[in-house]
Structure 1
Amino acid sequence: MLVDTYGRVATDLRVSLTDRCNLRCTYCMPEEGLQWLAKPDLLTDDEIVRLIRLATTELGVTEIRFTGGEPLLRPGLTGIVERCAALDPRPRLSLTTNGIGLARTAPALRAAGLDRVNVSLDTLRPEVFRRLTRRDRHQDVLRGLEAARAAGLTPVKINTVLMPGANDDEAPELLSWAITEGYELRFIEQMPLDAQHGWRREGMITADDVLRSLRTRFTLTPEEEGRGSAPAERWIVDGGPHRVGVIASVTRPFCGACDRTRLTADGQIRNCLFAREETDLRAALRSGAPDGEIAETWRAAMWGKKAGSGLDDPSFLQPDRPMSAIGG
């Protein structure tokens, strides 16, 4: 198993399939984009499936989340999903996407074995979407959400980041719409993972801000059972059955219950989203290392995981890689 010195066990693997994206969200990357990884640096489909097989059969991983960048830009995505769904034991398979390509791919992904999706959507207003993402694709995302729901990729979860002066007044409107459409909404605090390194704590919309805004229209009751290792704190809306989540990585860190490990698109293991160190599995794969040796390298990477992200430490430094290159 993937255990660290604090007794936490990693059972949730986030697999980045590409660092490329077809949006340019202001809180993620500059308008001109970034210097993408060269194709030879990316793990091949076979290498990805081999590492996922190793994680699930030897290291105790039970949940796989495909991320990016934008994972729908990976040409072999459907095949990767199908091969992972055939593993024994079979992991739960999910995908985090901006939703632009879902109208085209949702049925095939469901048929391949994908269980559900998380879709990023920060606003219901097309003009605000254009300003935040620098692209006119709002309707594509809405169509993608509908396609995911129709294909049975449920529960469809929506990830929303509120930005001051842009969409910070939309929380109640977003929740009302999500309830009507049958989606599960989660608000995520903006994290210091932008390529521009422009994040400032004093400028972010916090979990308390979100909840205060929601309570102007809804009654929120904390879930009694708690969140366990899940990143989102959840509230029952108006007595149920609907719920809303808030992921407060900055103001309410949940490091003590973290069960995640991350594999970047170029084959690096990261034991924390905010880590500044990585462990190279690609080199081991390509040098002909056997599964046992790769597993031991992965275990050693997780053993050294720190107690927390360090966000509250005055000496905190952002990782060199932005979120698009790490994989959410």
Structure 2
Amino acid sequence: MLIDTYGRVATDLRVSLTDRCNLRCTYCMPEEGLSWLAKPDLLTDDEIVRLIRIAVTLLGVTDVRFTGGEPLLRPGAVGIVARCAALSPRPRTSLTTNGIGLQRTATALRAAGLDRVNVSLDTLRPDVFKTLTRRDRLPDVLAGLAAARDAGLTPVKVNTVLMPGHNDDEAPDLLAWAVAEGYELRFIEQMPLDAQHGWQRDGMITAGDILASLRTRFTLTPETDDERGSAPAERWIVDGGPHRVGVIASVTRPFCGACDRTRLTADGQVRNCLFAREETDLRAALRSDASDEEIAALWRRAMWGKKAGSGLDDPAFLQPDRPMSAIGG
């Protein structure tokens, strides 16, 4: 197992397929984009599948989520999903995407064995979408969401970050829309993972702010801790059910004590925490003909050293050098 010194066991693997993205969200990267990883530095499809197989068959991983960057920009994404879904034991599979490529790939992803998707969408207003993402692609995202739902990639979850002065008044409208469309909405506190290192705690929209806004229009009943388990989102039943809304409060309500995640970057680095400042290089081991057992041992050591928490509540907290687009969600 991937166990750490605090007794937590990582069973959820986040796999970044690429650091590239076709949006330029203001809280993630600058308008001109970033210097992308060179192709030789990226794991090949075979290398990604091998590492997932090691995680599933030797290390106890039961859930695999594909992330980016934008994972659907990787040409072999559907094939990687299919090979992952064919493993025994079969892991549960999901994908986090900005939704732009979903209309053309949702059916193929479902046929390949993908179980569900999370789609990032911060606003329903075209002008605000264009401001936040620096691209005029809202209709594509909405079409992608509908395609995912129609293909059976359910529950379709929508991830939303509220930004002061842009969409901080949209929480009730977004929830009403999600309920009407049959999507599960999850608000995520803005985290210090932007490439510009411009995040400020004082200016962020907190979980408390979000819930107060939602309660102006909806009755929210909290789920029990047993229902939450190790999930990052606290969830509330909306107006008696069956719909639910979640809030991932990584900054103000950290959930590190129940974390069950391990992360693999597109260039083959293991990260034992989203906010870790150290990585363990599995790509070098792969390309030096290490055995599966040797790679598994490296992975176990990487997770054994996981810290008790993210350190976000420490005044001396230092933001990771890599931004979210390079780490994977």
Q: TM-score, structure 1 length as denominator?
A: 1.00
Q: Which residue of 2 aligns with 1:74?
A: 74
Q: Which amino acid aligns with 2:169?
A: D
Q: Which amino acid aligns with 2:260?
A: D
2:243 pairs with 1:256? no
Distance 1:66 1:144 in 2: 17
2:264 pairs with 1:281? no
* SS of residue in 2 equivalent to 1:143: helix
2:140 pairs with 1:134? no
Q: Which amino acid aligns with 1:316?
A: F
Q: Which residue of 2 aligns with 1:146?
A: 146
Q: Following TM superposition, by how much is the alpha carbon of 1:17 offset from its aligned partner in structure 2, in angstroms?
A: 0.3
The 5 Å alignment of 1:1-328 reads 1-224=1-224, 225-328=226-329
Q: Which amino acid aligns with 1:308?
A: G
* SS of residue in 1 equivalent to 2:228: coil
Moved more, 219-228 or 105-114: 219-228
Q: Following TM superposition, by how much is the alpha carbon of 1:226 offset from its aligned partner in structure 2, in angstroms?
A: 4.2
Give CA deviations for 1:271-295 in whole Å, capped at 9, x if unaligned. Answer: 0000000000000000000001000
Give CA deviations for 1:127-148 in whole Å, capped at 9, x if unaligned. Answer: 0000000000000000000000
Q: Following TM superposition, by how much is the alpha carbon of 1:228 offset from its aligned partner in structure 2, in angstroms?
A: 1.3
Distance 2:318 2:261 in 1: 21
Q: Following TM superposition, by how much is the alpha carbon of 1:298 offset from its aligned partner in structure 2, in angstroms?
A: 0.2
Give CA deviations for 1:97-120 in whole Å, capped at 9, x if unaligned. Answer: 000000000000000000000000
Give the conservation status (yes or no) of the 8 Å contact 1:226–1:233.
no
Give the conservation status (yes or no) of the 8 Å contact 1:272–1:309.
yes
Give the conservation status (yes or no) of the 8 Å contact 1:94–1:114.
yes
Distance 1:219 1:83 in 2: 43
Give CA deviations for 1:210-244 in whole Å, capped at 9, x if unaligned. Answer: 00000000000101234110000000011111100
Q: Which amino acid aligns with 1:85?
A: A
Distance 1:19 1:325 in 2: 5
Q: Which amino acid aligns with 1:252?
A: R
Distance 1:174 1:244 in 2: 10
Distance 1:30 1:75 in 2: 25
- Superposed CA RMSD in Å reads 0.4
Distance 1:282 1:204 in 2: 36
Q: Which amino acid aligns with 1:245?
A: G
Q: Following TM superposition, by how much is the alpha carbon of 1:87 offset from its aligned partner in structure 2, in angstroms?
A: 0.3
List gaps (5 residues or longer) in structure 1. none
Q: TM-score, structure 2 length as denominator?
A: 0.99
Give the conservation status (yes or no) of the 8 Å contact 1:195–1:322.
yes
Distance 1:241 1:15 in 2: 31
Give the conservation status (yes or no) of the 8 Å contact 1:123–1:174.
yes
* SS of residue in 2 equivalent to 1:19: coil
Q: Following TM superposition, by how much is the alpha carbon of 1:324 offset from its aligned partner in structure 2, in angstroms?
A: 0.1
Give the conservation status (yes or no) of the 8 Å contact 1:160–1:188.
yes
Distance 1:174 1:291 in 2: 46
